[in-house]
Chain A
Amino acid sequence: MTGWARLGLGIAGIVFACAGPALAQAKDTLTLGMVLEPPGLDPTAGAAAAIREVVYANVFEGLTRIDGEGHVVPGLAASWTMSPDGKTYRFALRPHVTFHDGTQFDCAIVKFSFDRARAPDSTNAQKEIFEPIAAIDCPEPETAVITLKRPDADFLYGLGWGDAVMVAPQTAAQNQTTPIGTGPFRFTRWVKGDRVELARYAGYWGQAARLSAVTFKFIADPAAAAAALLAGDIDAFGNFPAPEILPQLRADSRFAVVIGATEGKTLLALNNARKPFDDIRVRRALAYAIDRRALVTATMSGAARIIGSHYTPNDPGFIDLAATYPYDPARAKALLAEAGIAPGTRFTLALPPPPYARRGGEVIAAMLQEVGLNVDLVPMEWATWLDQVFKRSDFDMTIIAHTEPRDLAIYARDHYYFNYHNAAFQSLFARYRETTDPAAGIDLLRQMQRQLATDEPNVFLYVLPKIGVWNAHLHGLWSNDPIPANDVTGVYWGN
């Protein structure tokens, strides 16, 4: 296959050298490849990253938005002020904003969108974002005043998520199939099983998109994705599924290969409520037993950043704790012996479908074998994983990437599948959540990262890389994924 692909590359390269530049100048459309087809197109009615990867920023916009660097920037709210007690936000809404069907955007839309998201029958996957809201008032059409029950350090950030985008009352129910938002692209067609098509919206309030049309094409098979890219059927993959052919793509001047970071904290998650994982010595032994550098080389072609806590370098207040538990099998064995774990003890390792889990599981099992532990690998589909591991907490160990950004909150929950309970961490988190002083907030974020590294409730492995591969003439795609998105609003073709 490699030989054939190289041969193909060589010949295609020659063809491109002759015919390429003339075509590239005239082009103002984009075909973007994605692995998964979204289940519906309404980001306020489902958690799937694929929904956001089509519509976020392109079709739907919120009051704030998250940019490519993970910063909160103005969206449909041009500016805002916060009261000194942190409980009242006053948003100045942008004028002359219309939905793709002509509906005017104003404060009534803000009130409708947030009331819908926090209603008892709401099916919003991130209802937590709206939980602090006490009231939404509209003193005038272009001002929205949101009062909170308590201060919330992450409120503006949460409003930038896909789950908090603005939807209009007349069209909200149809957004699953025909999304109507305020973004620079309007939805034109969804050929189910194949592609979603967007076109530039002429009535956009801000800077018009430079692309006239965008097609999102769904290719589940990694080898087929590689072939489609090489054949020129696809211009770009925001997240390319076949890391093994990266060396080949890097050597090809037609493509730009851009490795960035997602928010996916990849963990060897442990059931802290089950023996022997309730023993900190055992959890630390596992951390010492895993050579994370070798793991990343084997499963991600080396393109991933090692982490030592549940936090990524994209996030505010990040500290590098990757050296907390260096690879040290001798120490791992000593700790296991101290905890009374006999060599040859068996554990199960539940593996959901993504390659990071399936490939990573085999590597980790081999590493744990080195320190005398036997691991039974249990591959599962997502639905089974969600039911058995996540919902019922019936597991020993699992490999999972937590892709939700800034989600330290999960370690403060009373019930969560890995069953970590530490009053000290919970109080740190409670203080962080209600702090209105940014410096104090950063300090608390650092303390929480350290607390997790000390307790090691899960073995923190690496940040899931974002492997971007696109036509070398294409500009303006995100290098990192601070939130799941393919923001094509600033994308254009150069020479």
Chain B
Amino acid sequence: MIPYLGGRLVVLAVTLFAAAAVVFLVLDVLPGDPAALILGVNARPDTLAALHHAMGLDRPAAWRFLAWLGGMLAGDFGDSFTYHVPIAGLIADRVGVSLPLALLAIALSTAIAIPTGVFAAAKRGKPADTLTMAAAQIGVAVPNFWLGLLLILVFSVKLAWLPASGFPGWAGGIWPGLRALLLPALALALPQAAILARVTRSAMLETMGEDYMRTALAKGVSRRAALWRHAVPNALIPVVTILGLQFSFLLAGTIIIENVFTLPGLGRLVFQAIAGRDLIVVQDLVVLLAGSVIVVNFLVDIAYVLIDPRLRAQGGR
């Protein structure tokens, strides 16, 4: 396990460095001057030069790259051009929205998808299966922003149960925060659940055809017990793989949902920072997101070991 972890850490470091170098280069060649964006169309050249100097943009690119990397290694993520505050605090605030949102969405989607997938597999070919899979097909096709708007119209505008947008923060207690995240989490979870349910169903069908299932049934184990005891655990590996992919997607890919619900999360920060050429914020976020994808993949690998006794045996050797 230790050499395995060590290898993973090296991969992590190399990947992060590569991500940092690539994003810095891309932003450097991308047209658009952050100072020009701040000062607008009436700015005089000397004013632009003064702002370039104040922002450190008059220094060579190599110097800026090394200063940024050095700062990050020392724990200094730099200051935002837009908000004029340290980026570490900015990101920490946003993680406080995006991470609970992603976790809630994953929890909801898993809670909906796995029982649905198992149910559909158990009823294979019957009307219940056809109906469930038709619903899942619709779920896959529905874009999450449209679903988000629909949920707002029903639960906020019509029923007035939940807020239409915004996030009150966690300072006022768990419940107000959770209330604000419920609709966006649902909008994110349903399309994901549809995909996950289909994966669960096909994985289940595959395991249900295995010899050990026939053996279990021949031994006189009830169909239901055989399903939960033997088929479900064996079907979990592809399901966990998809879950891992979905989590990375959720963490970074909530841009649209965060815009629809006006949530101050990471996705919106990335979007605003790119449009506003808040260069260091973009750089920091890319490195952070790349790092989190790697960490999630690592956790998925550990989950395989926990689920699959064969891998456990190899790891212990």
Complex Cα gap A123–B37 (Å): 13
Within 8 A of A (CB), among B63-99: 81-85, 90, 93-94
CB distance A195 to B156 under 8 Å? no
> B259: which A residues are within 8 A, CB to CB?
220-221, 224
The residue from A40, A227, A388, A402 contacting B152, defined by CB atoms under 8 A apart: A227
A134 within 8 A of B: no
CB distance A127 to B47 under 8 Å? yes
A128 within 8 A of B: yes
CB distance B37 to A122 under 8 Å? no
The residue from A120, A228, A404 contacting B50, defined by CB atoms under 8 A apart: A120
CB distance A191 to B264 under 8 Å? yes
Indicate whether A224 sits within 8 Å of B50 (C-beta atoms), given known contacts A125-B40, A193-B94, A231-B157: no
Complex Cα gap A470–B94 (Å): 30
> B160: which A residues are within 8 A, CB to CB?
12, 15, 231-232
B46 within 8 A of A: yes
B297 within 8 A of A: no
B268 within 8 A of A: yes
The chain A residue sitting closest to B45, CB to CB, is: A415
CB distance B262 to A228 under 8 Å? yes
A29 within 8 A of B: no
CB distance A5 to B38 under 8 Å? no
Task: Quote the shortest CB–CB distance from A414 to chain B (angstroms).
Answer: 12
Q: What 0/1 pattern do residues 162 to 187 of B give for CB contact below 8 A with A? A: 01111101000000000000000000
B269 within 8 A of A: yes
Task: Quote the shortest CB–CB distance from B165 to chain A (angstroms).
Answer: 5
The residue from B50, B149, B276 contacting A122, defined by CB atoms under 8 A apart: B50
Indicate whether A193 sits within 8 Å of B166 (C-beta atoms), given known contacts A123-B50, A125-B39, A231-B156: no
Complex Cα gap A132–B156 (Å): 54
A192 within 8 A of B: yes
Indicate whether A381 sits within 8 Å of B38 (C-beta atoms), given known contacts A177-B85, A192-B93, A233-B166: no
Indicate whether A122 sits within 8 Å of B47 (C-beta atoms), given known contacts A192-B264, A228-B262: yes
The residue from B31, B261, B277 contacting A224, defined by CB atoms under 8 A apart: B261
CB distance B33 to A227 under 8 Å? no
Task: Quote the shortest CB–CB distance from A63 to chain B (angstroms).
Answer: 20
A342 within 8 A of B: no
A-B contact count (CB 8 A): 171
CB distance A125 to B262 under 8 Å? no
Within 8 A of B (CB), among A387-420: 387-388, 390-391, 402, 404, 407
Indicate whether A404 sits within 8 Å of B41 (C-beta atoms), given known contacts A177-B83, A381-B32: yes
> A233: which B residues are within 8 A, CB to CB?
156, 163-166
B43 within 8 A of A: yes
Q: What 0/1 pattern do residues 336 to 358 of A give for CB contact below 8 A with B? A: 00000000000000000100000
CB distance B41 to A1 under 8 Å? no
A85 within 8 A of B: no
B54 within 8 A of A: yes
Indicate whether A230 sits within 8 Å of B262 (C-beta atoms), given known contacts A123-B54, A383-B32, A384-B31: no
CB distance A386 to B32 under 8 Å? yes
Indicate whether A227 sits within 8 Å of B153 (C-beta atoms), given known contacts A46-B39, A122-B47, A217-B166: yes
Task: Quote the shortest CB–CB distance from A3 to chain B (angstroms).
Answer: 10
Task: Quote the shortest CB–CB distance from A276 to chain B (angstroms).
Answer: 26
B154 within 8 A of A: yes
Complex Cα gap A82–B265 (Å): 53
Complex Cα gap A7–B150 (Å): 12
The chain A residue sitting closest to B39, CB to CB, is: A125
Complex Cα gap A479–B34 (Å): 33
CB distance B47 to A193 under 8 Å? no
A223 within 8 A of B: yes
> A390: which B residues are within 8 A, CB to CB?
36, 41
B158 within 8 A of A: yes
A20 within 8 A of B: no
> A220: which B residues are within 8 A, CB to CB?
259, 262, 268
Bin chain A's interface residue count.
Answer: 35 or more
The chain B residue sitting closest to A123, CB to CB, is: B51
> A121: which B residues are within 8 A, CB to CB?
50, 53-54
The chain B residue sitting closest to A41, CB to CB, is: B84
CB distance B275 to A218 under 8 Å? no
CB distance B165 to A125 under 8 Å? no
Within 8 A of B (CB), among A208-253: 217-221, 223-224, 227-228, 230-233
B42 within 8 A of A: yes
B272 within 8 A of A: yes
Complex Cα gap A223–B260 (Å): 7
CB distance B84 to A177 under 8 Å? yes
Complex Cα gap A192–B94 (Å): 9
Indicate whether A223 sits within 8 Å of B157 (C-beta atoms), given known contacts A123-B39, A193-B268, A194-B166: no
> B59: which A residues are within 8 A, CB to CB?
none
The chain A residue sitting closest to B34, CB to CB, is: A383
CB distance A383 to B166 under 8 Å? no
The chain B residue sitting closest to A119, CB to CB, is: B50
B44 within 8 A of A: yes
CB distance A387 to B36 under 8 Å? yes
Within 8 A of B (CB), among A303-358: 353
The residue from B33, B39, B42, B164 contacting A228, defined by CB atoms under 8 A apart: B164
> A231: which B residues are within 8 A, CB to CB?
152, 156-157, 160, 163-164
> A15: which B residues are within 8 A, CB to CB?
160
Within 8 A of A (CB), among B248-289: 259-262, 264-265, 268-269, 272, 275-277
> B158: which A residues are within 8 A, CB to CB?
4, 7-8, 11-12
Complex Cα gap A108–B264 (Å): 41
Q: What 0/1 pattern do residues 1 to 41 of A give for CB contact below 8 A with B? A: 10011011101100100000000000000000000010110
> B165: which A residues are within 8 A, CB to CB?
219, 224, 227-228, 233
Complex Cα gap A390–B40 (Å): 10
A124 within 8 A of B: yes
A273 within 8 A of B: no
The residue from A39, A191, A224 contacting B169, defined by CB atoms under 8 A apart: A191
A447 within 8 A of B: no
Complex Cα gap A230–B33 (Å): 38
A109 within 8 A of B: no
26 A-B pairs in the complex with CB atoms less than 8 angstroms apart:
A15-B160, A45-B38, A46-B38, A47-B38, A47-B41, A120-B50, A121-B53, A122-B47, A125-B43, A125-B47, A176-B84, A177-B83, A192-B93, A192-B264, A193-B272, A217-B166, A218-B262, A220-B268, A228-B164, A230-B157, A233-B163, A353-B275, A381-B275, A383-B33, A404-B41, A407-B42
Ordered nearest first, which 10 A-B pairs have the shortest CB separation? Answer: A47-B40, A383-B32, A193-B264, A8-B157, A231-B164, A176-B84, A387-B31, A39-B82, A8-B158, A194-B264
